[in-house]
Amino acid sequence: MTDLQLGRAVGLPASPDEAELDRVPNPHPDVNYVARFTAPEFTSLCPVTGQPDFAHLVIDYVPDLWLVESKSLKLYLGAFRNHGAFHEDCTVAIGKRLADTLKPRWLRIGGYWYPRGGIPIDVFFQIGELPKGVWAPDQGVAPYRGRG
Domain ranges of the chain: 30-127
Read off the pTM. 0.94
Q: How many CA atoms lie within 13 A of 61 on its CB side?
A: 28
| 70 is an annotated ligand-binding site residue | yes
CA-CA-CA-CA torsion for 6, 10, 15, 16, nearest 10 degrees?
Answer: 0
For the stretch 35-68, pLDDT in tens is 999 999 999 999 999 999 999 999 999 999 999 9
For the stretch 10-35, pLDDT in tens is 899 999 999 999 999 999 999 999 99
Query: What CATH architecture does domain 30-127 belong to?
Result: 2-Layer Sandwich (3.30)
Catalytic: which of 46, 64, 89, 122? 46
| 87 is an annotated ligand-binding site residue | yes
Confidence of residue 118 (pLDDT cuts 50, 70, 90): confident
What pLDDT, on the 0 to 100 scale, is given for residue 15?
95
Catalytic: which of 22, 53, 60, 90? 53
100 classed as catalytic: no
90 classed as catalytic: no
| 68 is an annotated ligand-binding site residue | yes
Of 28, 34, 1, 50, the closest CA to residue 138 belongs to: 34
Using CA atoms, how far apart are residues 41 and 55, in angstroms rounded to an integer? 6
Cα 62 to chain centroid distance, Å, stands at: 14
